[in-house]
Structure 1
Amino acid sequence: MDEKLSRKAISAAVDPLGWRFVLGVIRTCVPVGSLAEAVEVAAAVCEPAAEGRLRLDLRDRWVILTLQTPDIIWVSPADIELAGRITAIVRGMGRDTTGESAQIMEIAIDAADIAAVRPFWKAILGYVDETAAGGPTDPLVDPLGQRPTIWFQQMDPPRLERNRLHFDVCVPPDQAQQRMQAAIEAGGTLRYDAEAPAFWVLADVEGNEVCITTWEGRD
């Protein structure tokens, strides 16, 4: 089985390459000027070693590259090595890699009985079990990899005074303060920071909550 590296080690290895570690993957964006250029970049970085590890999202302004080892649902040394090769290819094309838009969003559902509610969300969204994680309380993922992962948070006791679905906005550590400040200036409030920098809880003017999360403070 591939080695499961610490969050700190992953971040230290990939940040100089223009990649960022966020939510169990490493991700970068390559700016392009057209969809045709995006296809050119995608064709250049695909190689046999990338099969099963590399996910590509092509747009007319960006190629978004994501790496993860599916068997461990985490970043392995092979992913980091591949990120280095991809960065060299991209830079050889006169382009660059940037992790400035590396955020990932999840949806968290509070539940008293996770095993009971999970099948409903799996069915209604057309989601599937996460690779190597198909237990009755494990997250659910979009089979096309486009929509947010759904995960379930144990609720005990019931909290009727607050929303039971919330977004987790997962960002690189150096982007968290800027994102929170922008939210506060837009009318939000900081509700909870006792477990920062792993996560902060903010709310809009009506009390609907959202978490800003990073990898720090979790190893």
Structure 2
Amino acid sequence: MTEAQNKSEPIRPKQFHETAGLADWRVLGEGACAYFRTGSFPMGAQLVQAISELTALGDGAPDVDLRPEGVTVRLIAVTEDYYGLTEHHLELARQISAVARALGVPADPAAVQTVQVTVDALAGPEVVAFWRALLGYRDRANSPEDLIDPQRRGAPFYFQQMDEPRPQRNRLHVDVWVPYDQAEARIAAALAAGGRLLNDADAPSNWVLADPEGNEACVGAAGWTGPEPGRP
């Protein structure tokens, strides 16, 4: 196996979190994310410029969101046959954190999250086709039950196959992916705000909550063993 092939080897969230030097980062539903509090737009632009000059970029440049208060960086490989993290992202994450430290920009791991919309469907392919056309999304690599924004800006949609009608429960819910070390605090806040815990059988990777009127949401924390939210 060549060095380039080794760097493209897929990795799981747990492997990412267990790698030294990546304390700034958290794996969510859509890759590994870090948030750097720059405090100003010019400083954020300076950080983005420094990231653009990193030797570890290669063909795998990160997704970067620049705002006046800070910069969010996401690492994810998007190809025809894979959607996720690779060995390449380990070194790239280290280098991004290093340039942020050199600029005196602190990371705030608690500030990252991603959101996914999950639709329960009986006629899966027909339902997926509608949402694909409506949103202008495309299929996720090797996953006909997932749709993603080609620009990687909008929330992904996941379609969960139903075996029979379920008229007494909502058919659409939101999955909120938060850092693994923030999940319990986020759940406690939601319960204190009037929510209810419906199911914690898959904790600490997934909890099912409901608002005061019964609308459901899942809280997911990647990096643990066991099933991931939105994935059977």
Normalising to structure 2: TM-score of the pair?
Answer: 0.86
8 A contact 1:191–1:202 mirrored in 2:
yes
The alpha-carbon deviation at position 12 of structure 1 amounts to: 1.6
Residue equivalent to 1:157: 164
Report deviation, 1:69: 2.0
**TM-score, with length taken from structure 1:** 0.91
- Structure 1: distance between partners of 2:159 and 2:85: 22
Once superposed, what is the RMSD of the aligned Cα atoms?
1.8
Q: How far off is 1:210 after superposition?
A: 0.3
Q: Shift of the alpha carbon at 1:103?
A: 1.0
Matched residue, 1:63: 71
- Say whether 1:23 aligns with 2:29: yes
Matched, 1:45 2:51: yes
C-alpha separation in 1, matches of 2:35 and 2:50: 15
Q: Does 1:147 align with 2:157?
A: no
Match of 1:184 in 2: 191
User: What is the one-letter code of the residue matched to 1:121?
Assistant: W
**Distance apart, 1:173 and its partner CA:** 1.6
What's the offset of the Cα at 1:90?
1.1
Distance 1:193 1:20 in 2: 22
- Partners of 1:144 and 1:158 lie apart in 2 by 34
Measured against aligned partners, the alpha-carbon deviations of 1:37-86 in whole angstroms (never above 9, x if no partner) come to: 21111111014643444000010001000111223312111101011111
Displacement of 1:98: 2.6
**Do structure 1's residue 32 and structure 2's residue 38 form an aligned pair?**
yes
CA contact (8 A) 2:120 2:159 kept: yes
SS of the counterpart of 1:138? strand
Distance in 2 separating the partners of 1:86 and 1:141: 25
- Contact kept, 8 Å, 1:17 with 1:97, in 2: the verdict is no
Work out the CA distance in 2 between the residues paired with 1:210 and 1:103: 14
Matched to 1:68, the amino acid is I
Distance 1:180 1:74 in 2: 26
Identity of aligned residues (%): 36
In 1, Cα distance between the equivalents of 2:36 and 2:69? 8
Q: Which moved more, 1:118-127 or 1:16-25?
A: 16-25
Quote the offset at 1:214 in angstroms: 1.4
Q: Deviations over 1:136-185 (max 9, x none)?
A: x3311122222100010111221111111100001122111111111111
Alignment partner for residue 108 of structure 1, among 90, 113, 118? 118
Give the number of equivalent residue pairs: 216
Pick from 226, 229, 232 the counterpart of residue 218 of structure 1. 226
Quickly say closer, same or farther: Cα 1:84–1:101, change in 2 above 3 A.
same
Aligned partner of 1:128: which letter? R
Partner of 1:92: 102
CA distance in 2, matches of 1:78, 1:193: 34
Question: What is the rounded CA distance, in whole Å, between the counterparts of 1:121 and 1:84 in structure 2?
Answer: 37
From 130, 135, 138, the counterpart of 2:145: 138
Which amino acid in structure 1 is aligned with residue 159 of structure 2? F
1:207 aligns with 2:211: no
Tell me, yes or no, if structure 1 residue 121 matches structure 2 residue 128: no
Q: Distance in 1 between matches of 2:133 and 2:104?
A: 45
Distance in 2 separating the partners of 1:64 and 1:158: 40
